[in-house]
Structure 1
Amino acid sequence: MQVGLTGGIASGKSTVSAILAELGAVVIDADKLAREVVERGTPGLAAVVEAFGEGLLTPDGDLDRPSMGALVFRDEARRRTLESIVHPLVFERIVALEEEAPEGAVVVHDIPLLAESGRADTFDAVVVVDVPPETQVERMLRDRGWTREDAESRIASQASREDRLAVATHVVDNTGSREDLRRRVEEVYAELTGPARAS
């Protein structure tokens, strides 16, 4: 059972992902893998240094993420170069993790930009963590110390709430308490494991 998990920024997707893992799902986090494949000592980091130079390393020899982000954010050609290094390595890791998953497992792919990618229909189910945009803004102001302008521009750069809900087979409302959220995630997981067991 292949499941896509998505949600807008500050929707609580990471919390839902953690609960699903606790319940027994195999969670594959593409963002986390993208960090792992360019850790110090990896062929991925060596390829990034070869393409962009050693100026993007910290004194300790790690990738300086903020500098890298600033560089590729402004330059599409460089962003594509970085993606051409990182994406194949991430894909390799995803395939390996899928192959290692136990028979009949619910494999959850944590993909922030799933609605934007046009890949929602490649999954057996899509779980969308949903909150109103104003809740997203409030959380970014409170938890991340962002300005309202920064929060609103980040939301505007992602798929709309309507576009995300349009690809959902399961919606997890995250406007209530942590207990409400856990209850809803348990319900969704029970629904997902039903067909997984049947097949």
Structure 2
Amino acid sequence: MDLNPAMRQTLRKPVQWVVGLTGGIGSGKTAVSNRLHELGATVIDTDEIAHSLTQPDGLAIPSIRTAFGDAAVNADGSMNRNYMRGLVFKNPDQRVILEKILHPLIRESVQNRLDQGAPNYFLIVVPLLFEKGGWNELMDEIVVVDCPIEQQVRRVIQRNNWTEEQVLAVINNQASRSVRIEGADHVIENTQGITELIEKIDFLHRKIIKKAQK
């Protein structure tokens, strides 16, 4: 589901090179972004921003409580993620309401960080880059981290202790692998071990930095 016009306010493109990073849940986006950060990328992770907005005293919490009631907020003042996850996946209308709260705040935070500049290039991690409008025009190139769905499921079950049904519910609400790959400038296949993955990331960084420094 695309964002409505109010949620798709145009982000100002910085002079620095901007790389978008995306991929399905459990594909390995964090491993890729962490390594690129080590190599000199200035990383802006929209998931991390969303988490900060929904932590105790986060900027989004008052609006979430108003929209979804006290059950949506934990005793410590953070968003009740389990409750909200169950709610939004069962009811798309509720997901839209949550997005209307979070997405403008996320984009405002992204813009603030872009305005600070980067010594090399920006890497913006957007898990739903192809699902939500208003991001592609900001990117100079897009990197997709990919692996088979079976690997995604195993990784998320191991990492989050979710059920297979929960993982598949998330995957089914994301763009398909074919859609992501078709929209990518670079695809990193994360199907083997960390050593091979780092080799691929380092090779990609060398290609990006050449463009960023032109």
TM-score range for the pair, normalised by the shorter chain length: 0.7 to 0.9
| Equivalent residue runs for 1:109-188 within 5 Å | 109-117=124-132, 119-120=135-136, 122-148=138-164, 150-188=166-204
What's the TM-score, normalizing by structure 1?
Answer: 0.86
The 8 Å contact of residues 60 and 101 in structure 2, kept in 1 or not, is answered as: yes
What's the TM-score, normalizing by structure 2?
Answer: 0.81
Deviation (angstroms), 1:48: 1.9
Structure 2 alignment gaps of length 5 or more:
1-16
Matching residue's letter, 2:193: S
Residue aligned with 1:172, SS: strand
Matching residue's letter, 1:160: S
The 8 Å contact of residues 89 and 169 in structure 2, kept in 1 or not, is answered as: no
| Residue 6 of structure 2: aligned partner | none
| Residue 36 of structure 2: aligned partner | 20
In 2, the alpha carbon distance for the partners of 1:157 and 1:71 equals 14
| Residue 211 of structure 2: aligned partner | 195
Deviation (angstroms), 1:151: 4.3
Deviation (angstroms), 1:81: 2.2
The 8 Å contact of residues 120 and 167 in structure 1, kept in 2 or not, is answered as: no
Give 1 or 2 for the bigger CA radius of gyration: 1
Tell me the alpha carbon deviations over residues 162-194 of structure 1, each in whole angstroms, 9 at most, x when there is no partner. Answer: 211111111212122211111111111111111
Residue aligned with 2:143, SS: strand
The 8 Å contact of residues 137 and 152 in structure 1, kept in 2 or not, is answered as: yes
Structure 1 alignment gaps of length 5 or more:
none
Q: Percent identity?
A: 36
| Residue 46 of structure 1: aligned partner | 62
Residues 141, 56 of structure 1: alpha-carbon distance in 2 compared, 3 angstrom cutoff: closer
In 1, the alpha carbon distance for the partners of 2:162 and 2:63 equals 33
| Residue 30 of structure 1: aligned partner | 46
